[in-house]
């Protein structure tokens, strides 16, 4: 993937790609939509430029405990799905996921876990970071 931005997935201690695993299981109905969305974002100029798509409804900056993170948004089969990442310059570190099941938002991760993952990806990229493959 080439372009303005580069996406990376978090690799856990066991060597598992948590983003890929989720997209191939619970998030599989949204996988095709995420492929299209990430290709679009990867090629787009940063937020603030005229042709940028780094804004709602594609991406939303998070607030509160998730301050500093962004959610990449898609809808599939009348459900809302999110990939949660940290933007570091032109790199997007994907560290968590979420979905809305009609009753509320669900994610397996806390903001502190997401922050730890970002630190691991920045401090030891060979172990904790892989190119996001479409």
Q: What is the average pLDDT across 32-47?
A: 92
Instruction: For residue 35, give Cα distances in angstroms to 23, 32, 93, 111.
Output: 10, 5, 16, 24
The yes-or-no verdict on residue 1 having pLDDT over 50 is no
- Mean pLDDT for all residues in the chain: 91
pTM: 0.91
Percentage above 90 pLDDT, the chain: 75
Instruction: Let me know if residue 129 belongs to a domain.
Output: no
Instruction: Let me know if residue 133 belongs to a domain.
Output: no
How is residue 125 annotated by DSSP? H
Count of structural domains, the chain? 1
CATH code, domain carrying 36: 3.30.2310
Domain that residue 110 falls in: 6-123
Q: Tell me the pairing of strands 6-10 and 91-100.
A: parallel
Instruction: Let me know if residue 49 belongs to a domain.
Output: yes
Q: What is the average pLDDT across 30-50?
A: 91
Instruction: For residue 9, give Cα distances in angstroms to 57, 78, 101, 106, 120.
Output: 22, 26, 24, 19, 12
Per residue in 87-129, pLDDT (tens digit) is 999 999 999 998 887 777 788 889 999 999 999 999 999 999 9
The yes-or-no verdict on residue 69 having pLDDT over 50 is yes
Instruction: Let me know if residue 12 belongs to a domain.
Output: yes
Per-residue pLDDT, 91: 95
């Amino acid at each position: 993937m080439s372009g303005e931005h580069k996406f990376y997935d978090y690799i856990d201690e066991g060597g598992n790609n948590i983003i890929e695993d989720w997209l191939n299981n619970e998030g599989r109905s949204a996988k095709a939509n995420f492929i299209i969305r990430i290709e679009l974002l990867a090629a787009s100029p940063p937020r603030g430029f005229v042709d940028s798509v780094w804004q709602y409804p594609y991406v939303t900056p998070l607030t509160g405990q998730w301050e500093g993170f962004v959610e990449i948004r898609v809808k599939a089969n009348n459900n809302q799905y999110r990939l949660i990442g940290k933007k570091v310059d032109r790199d997007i570190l994907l560290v968590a996921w979420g979905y809305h099941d009609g009753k509320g938002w669900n994610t397996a991760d806390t903001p502190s876990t997401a922050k730890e993952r970002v630190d691991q990806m920045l401090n030891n990229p060979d172990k904790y970071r892989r190119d996001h493959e479409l």
